[in-house]
Each structure stands twice: as C-alpha cells, then as structure tokens.
Amino acid sequence: MLPLFGAISRVSYDKMRVLISAAETSSDLHGARVLKSLHKQLQKDGRALDAFGLGGPRLAEGGMHILLPSSRLLAMGTSEIISKLPSIWKARRLILDEVDRSKPDFAVLIDYPDFHFRLARDLRARGIPLYYFIPPKVWAWRQGRVRLLRKYFEELFLIFPFEATFYANQNIRATFVGNPMADHLPAPFKMEEARSRLGLSVGSEDRVIALLPGSRPNEISRNLPLGLRSLVLAHQRMKASNPWKVLIPIPDMFSVAEVQKAAPVDSRLNCQFFQGKSHEVLCAADSGLVKSGTSTLEAAYCGLPHIAFYKASPLTEFIFDRILSYQGPVALSNLLSNWKPGESYRFKEVIAGAASVERLASAWMDLVGDARSRDLAERGIEEVRANLAMEQSPSDTVANILIERCRAREASP
C-alpha cells in the first residue's frame, strides 16, 4: 500500500484542484458524474472545485477546463493506436504543463491504460496523488502492469466485485465502488412500450433482433457486415419464410447514410436504423448480437438475451488469439454475472479470431433455439441486474473517498 503523498503542496482549504483524465466516450460520462459528486460534496464544506484535464462534452458541461478533447485520442485495438500517437503526445504535454502550473491536489485517471500508465509515471514523479477509476483488467492479461499499479497509484476504484480479492492478494489498495453503468442507465422499457417508441409494427410471428456493431468507425465497418451476414445465414438455415426485423442503433455523430454504406443488403432482413435510441432497441428486441463492451452490460440490464461479438484488426486478433493466456470471459455482461471458472458463460462470446459468419450464426441459433442457452442467458440477466443494484451511486462513493483522502492529508503533520 502506498503512503499518502503531499510532497508538492498542502490541500487548499478554500479550493480543491483536481486533474481528471478521461480519454474515451464512456470515461467522459463516468468522469462527469464523479465531478458532479465532488462539487456536491465540497459545497457542503463551503469549498470550490477547480477541475482541468482531458475529457469530452459531458465533463465540459460539468465545468471542467478541457485541455484537449478526448475525441482526438480515440482508438480501438493495437494497430489503430499508431495513427493517434501525435495527439497522444500532445495531450500528455498539455496535461503536464498545466500540472506544473496549477499543482492539483490529486488526479483521477479513468480507463485507457496505454495512455494513462505513461502519464502516471510523470505525475508520480511530480508527487501528485493518483487514483485509478476503472483500472485495466490485469487479472486477464498483461499482469506485468500490476507492478505499475502498485508503484504509481494510491488507490484503485474497482467496478467488478471479484477484482477486490485479486488486488488484495497483490497488496494494492483497492475499493469496489460498484459499476458506473448503474449511475446512468434508465429503467428498462417494457417491450411493447419500446417498440411503440421506435414506431415498430410487429406481428405475432415476427422475429425482432437488435444488432449493435459499436460506436467507432472501424468497429462499425467490421462488425456490421459480420452481424448481418451471420443473420442471413441463420435465416437460410432455419428456413424462415418472413424477413426478420433487425434494429440497428447508430451513434449521434454518424448519419444513417454513412452507416448504411457498411451494411450489405439482403431481402431476408428488414434493417431499420435509429439515430441513438440504443436503450429502446435493446428493450424492443427479443434477441441480440451486441458488440463486446459496455453495450453488453446494458443489454443484460434491459433483459435482452444476446451474443457478445467483436471482429478486431488482424494485428489485434493475432495478439488476442496467440499471445494472451487469459481464458475467461471478455464481455462485461459475463464479467458482471456470477460466472465462475469451470462454468458455461451466461452469454456466448464470439470474439477476435473466432468471429466468423459461421460461428456467429451458430451461436445465435443456439440462443434462440436451445433451451439451455436461453436459460443461461436469463440467469445472467438476473445476476447482472442484481450486481448493478447498489445502495449508493458509484460516483458518490468515489467522490467521498477522494475527499476523505484529502482530509487525511490536511490533518497529517
């Protein structure tokens, strides 16, 4: 366990200065909620909050001074990061220059480990107390990073309950705070209401399938054709007579026309695209193909039986399939279930090199046609919903801990 820092300066009594680095869309949302909770807690003490760092529109709306928009750094997989290196170097330099100028009381780094480990090294050298919200899954791969987490960070804020035991065994201060998805997920709609909101007309024999290919251009270009071709193959093998309704939500930053370019056309599928509205889509469908990531967690929360899938770049697939030794689940819906080694995954995964049209079609056909696969998915839905239910908001828990640590430094001699 690291000692509490404080080498640069004492915590300001009147104003708390905070560095937040949130380099991804979901991190921007989680960081904004922590920022809001910090504001709320500090106002009770009559203190102000001055926040700066790397983030997106949510953190900017919350009053943080954005040194560089996080959209400049977005990348997925190993090979995609290379094109972002100039922006990554610029972001690091801007952050360090501002740290040298304003000397924050502490820093909160959220997810995005490839960037944040390098930044942590420089911040630690400057004596800044560091906290990691949503640390990398070192229990799954690259366990050499455990040493860096122990070396650089005062405390980790965990989103999976089983992680607490892992880090305790590594002698790293870590606290399970709950999953931040619980902070902003709206209550699930009933299926009929969700379909009405989407303007769907669904017959009693119609099959309605959610297809979520991702939120980044490279994800959509790989996963959308894979998902649609898999459903065409399943339609053919099941000798279905009517076209299936396929609901495809797309991010607000893309136009429907842009996404349709990546979608192969087939008369066996009635594809309907929706700007945003992923929550409605997940509640309206009776099964789904969902890109592995936070969307699988929302799918389970909405009660949707689904297959988690992801087609990566060739280099990322090679690393995943040939180098990584991790054998457990990848999808968040499985990780937040009560799955244990030796058990079947609650939601089948078709990931990286295994992500073929044949395998994805077979997995989905099992989901809708095999009672055991359906029962496992229903069990996973119940477990995820139970594990997302927290007495206190995760962002409030994080904010409370951060303020407690600052007060401890104030009281230290």
- From CA 370, how far away is CA 363, in angstroms rounded? 10
Residue 83: per-residue pLDDT:
56
Structure tokens at 274: 């929706």
**Percent of the chain whose predicted confidence (pLDDT) is above 90:** 64
Which residues touch 130 (CB under 8 Å, ≥6 apart)?
A: 106, 107, 109, 120, 123, 124, 152, 153, 154
pLDDT tens digits for range 270-304: 999 999 899 999 999 999 999 998 899 999 999 99
Q: Give the confidence band of 354 by pLDDT, cuts at 50, 70, 90.
A: confident
Query: Residue 264 corresponds to which tokens in the numbers above?
Result: 């192969």
Q: What is the CATH number of domain 15-178+391-411?
A: 3.40.50.2000
Rounded distance, CA 135 to CA 103, Å? 24
Helix/strand/coil (H, E, C) string of 291-357? ECCHHHHHHHHCCCCEEEEECCCHHHHHHHHHHCCCCCCCCHHHHCCCCCCCCCCCCCEEEHHHCCH
Q: How far apart are the first and last CA of the chain?
A: 20
pLDDT score of 353: 84
Higher pLDDT, 401 or 6: 401
Q: Once rounded to an integer, what is the mean pLDDT over residues 322-351?
A: 86
pLDDT at 50: 96
> What 3-state class would DSSP assign to 130?
strand
Place of tokens 């927290």: 390
Grade residue 17 by pLDDT with cuts at 50, 70 and 90.
very high
Distance CA 195, CA 313 (A): 35
C-alpha dist (Å) from residue 305 to 8, 35, 53, 109, 296: 52, 34, 38, 33, 10
Q: Do domains 15-178+391-411 and 191-388 have the same CATH topology?
A: yes
User: What is this structure's pTM?
Assistant: 0.74
- CATH superfamily, region 191-388: Glycogen Phosphorylase B; (3.40.50.2000)
Q: What is the structure's pLDDT at 5?
A: 39
What string of DSSP letters covers 229-240? HHHHHHHHHTT-
pLDDT digits (tens, 9 = 90+) for 142-190: 888 999 999 999 999 999 888 999 999 999 999 999 988 887 788 999 9
pLDDT digits (tens, 9 = 90+) for 363-373: 999 999 999 99
Order of strands, sheet of 106-110, starting from the edge strand that comes earlier in the sequence:
65-69, 48-55, 15-22, 106-110, 130-133, 155-158, 174-176
Average pLDDT over residues 88-104: 92
Return d(Cα 303, Cα 284) in angstroms, integer. 10
What is the amino acid identity at position 44?
K
Range with the poorest average pLDDT among 52-61, 142-151, 284-293, 309-318: 309-318
**Annotated domain spans of the chain:** 15-178+391-411, 191-388
Contacts of 286 (CB under 8 A, 6+ apart): 191, 207, 208, 209, 304, 305
d(CA 377, CA 146): 33
Residue with tokens 């900017």: 60
In whole angstroms, what separates CA 287 from the centre of its chain?
A: 21
Q: What per-residue confidence (pLDDT) applies to 361?
A: 98
Cβ neighbours for 150, distance < 8 A, ≥ 6 positions apart: 2, 170, 171, 172
Residue 81 confidence (pLDDT) above 60: no
Helix (H, G, I), strand (E, B) or coil at 17: strand
Please state, for a pLDDT cut of 70, what percent of the chain lies above it.
92
Q: Which amino acid is at 170?
A: Q
